[in-house]
C-alpha cells in the first residue's frame, strides 16, 4: 500500500482544507518553525486510529480541532482523510466467494480512511466514505507495517529507541514485519469466544439439572393424577 494523498481540514493549525499529494519518490515538507510540519505527522497517527492524545502532542481531543487565531474563529470539527493506493487491481476470487469476503485492501484499488472529531466530543471513522468501527481501521492496517503502532512512521529518536529497546518490545516490531500480528489478534479473540462458550455451557448444564429435578417431581404427580383419574372413572361406572 502507498499513501497517495492526505486531506486535512480543521485539524490543529490547518484551518482550511489542505491536500498534500505524495507522488512517486521522496516527498519533503519544509517550512519555518511552528508552521505545522509536525502537525502533519500527528494527523497521520490520528487518522490511523491513534488513541493517545499525548502522542499527538495534545492534552485532549479538543486540542486537535483548530482553536482559532487572532483573525479566525475556532472550528467545530477536525477531519483527516488518508487516501491509499492498494496496488490491488481486483484479486481473482476463489470459487463461491464474493468481493465482500476479501479484506478491504484487496477489494479496492484505492482506499480512503477518514477520522472526524466534533467539539461535542463525538467522533467518527469512515472507510471509503462508509461509517465503520475503530476495529475495522485496526484490521485494515494489521500486518501492513502501517498503523499508529507500527514502523511505518519513524519519529525523531525512534531508531535509537528500537536499538535500545527490550527484546520483548522489539519482538512486536518483528512480528508486525513477519505478518503474524493478525493471527495473534484472531487467536486472542477466538480464545475469548471459547471461554464465553464454556461459561454458557456451564450455565446450560445447571439449567438442565434443575429441569431434570422438576421432571422427576412432575412424573410423580402425573402418576398420582392418572391413578386418581382411574379411580374416579371406576366410581363413575
Burial class (CB in 10 A: 0-12, 13-18, 19+), 88: middle
Using alpha carbons, select from 64, 50, 55 the residue that is nearest to residue 10. 64
Q: Give the distance from CA 82 to its chain's centroid.
A: 16
Q: Could you tell me the CA-to-CA distances from 204 to 191, 208, 214, 215 in Å, in that order?
A: 20, 6, 15, 16
Q: Coil, strand, or helix at residue 190?
A: helix
Q: What is the DSSP letter of 94?
A: P
Is residue 73 involved in binding ligand ATP (CB under 6 A)? Answer: no
Closest to Mg ion by CB, 50 vs 143, is: 50
Residue numbers 6-65 binding ligand ATP by CB under 6 A: 12-13, 31, 33-39, 63, 65
**Least distance from C-beta 145 to Mg ion, angstroms?**
24
Show the site string, 28-67: x = touches Mg ion by CB under 5 A, - = not.
Answer: ----------x-----------------------------
Is the alpha carbon torsion for 123, 128, 134, 138 positive or negative? Answer: negative
**Least distance from C-beta 35 to Mg ion, angstroms?**
9
Among 66, 82, 117, 141, binds ligand ATP (CB under 6 A): 66
Closest to Mg ion by CB, 56 vs 132, is: 56
Can you give the binding site for ligand ATP, defined by CB under 6 A? 12-13, 31, 33-39, 63, 65-67
Residues that bind Mg ion (CB under 5 A): 38
Amino acid at each position: 500500500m502507498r499513501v497517495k494523498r492526505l486531506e486535512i481540514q480543521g485539524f490543529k493549525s490547518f484551518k482550511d482544507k489542505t491536500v498534500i499529494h505524495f507522488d512517486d519518490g521522496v516527498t519533503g515538507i519544509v517550512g519555518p518553525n511552528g508552521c505545522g510540519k509536525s502537525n502533519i505527522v500527528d494527523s497521520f497517527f490520528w487518522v490511523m486510529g491513534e488513541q493517545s492524545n499525548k502522542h499527538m502532542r495534545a492534552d485532549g481531543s479538543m486540542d486537535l480541532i483548530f482553536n482559532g487565531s487572532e483573525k479566525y474563529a475556532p472550528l467545530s470539527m477536525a477531519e483527516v482523510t488518508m487516501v491509499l493506493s492498494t496496488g490491488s487491481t481486483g484479486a481473482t476470487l476463489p470459487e463461491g466467494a464474493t468481493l465482500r469476503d476479501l479484506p478491504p485492501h484487496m477489494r479496492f484499488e484505492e482506499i480512503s480512511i477518514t477520522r472526524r472529531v466534533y467539539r461535542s466530543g463525538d467522533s467518527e471513522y469512515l472507510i471509503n466514505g462508509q461509517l465503520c468501527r475503530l476495529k475495522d481501521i485496526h484490521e485494515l492496517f494489521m500486518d501492513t507495517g502501517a498503523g499508529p503502532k507500527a514502523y511505518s512512521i519513524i519519529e525523531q529518536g525512534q531508531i535509537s529507541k528500537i536499538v535500545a529497546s527490550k527484546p520483548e518490545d522489539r519482538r512486536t516490531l518483528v512480528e508486525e514485519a513477519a505478518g503474524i500480528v493478525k493471527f495473534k489478534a484472531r487467536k486472542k479473540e477466538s480464545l475469548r469466544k471459547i471461554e464465553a462458550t464454556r461459561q454458557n455451557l456451564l450455565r446450560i448444564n445447571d439449567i438442565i439439572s434443575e429441569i431434570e429435578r422438576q421432571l422427576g417431581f412432575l412424573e410423580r404427580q402425573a402418576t398420582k393424577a392418572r391413578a386418581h383419574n382411574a379411580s374416579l372413572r371406576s366410581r363413575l361406572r
